Amino acid sequence: MSTATCEKPMEKSELYITSETNTAESSARSLFTHQTGQALITLGTLFKHVPPFNESIDKNTSNTLISIGKKLKGK
């Protein structure tokens, strides 16, 4: 006596792991970028308006820091 089995052939399956890890990483990166931008804006403003700093640091430096900070904060 012989037995016949009807098995479906295994189909190729792919596993995608995305949402939790990438979301956590992108969220942390976004928060870091935003905070870095805020720190650069604050530092540029400090260099621009506080007398001990604005005498020794070029205005272009403070304007550049503020500009970079705004770009980072906006992302």
pLDDT tens-digit readout, 7-60: 666 566 555 555 555 677 788 889 999 999 999 999 999 999 988 888 888 889
Q: Indicate the domain borders of the chain.
A: 23-74
Site of tokens 């308006």: 49
Alpha-carbon distance of 22 to 36, in angstroms, equals 21
Residue 42 tokens read as 């604050």
- Count Cβ atoms within 10 A of the Cβ of residue 69 and give its class: 0-12 exposed, 13-18 middle, 19 or more buried: buried
- What pTM value is reported for the model? 0.64
Asked if residue 24 lies in contact with residue 49, where contact means CB atoms within 8 angstroms, the answer is: no
Query: What crossing angle do the helices spanning 19-49 and 59-74 adopt, rounded to 10°?
Result: 160
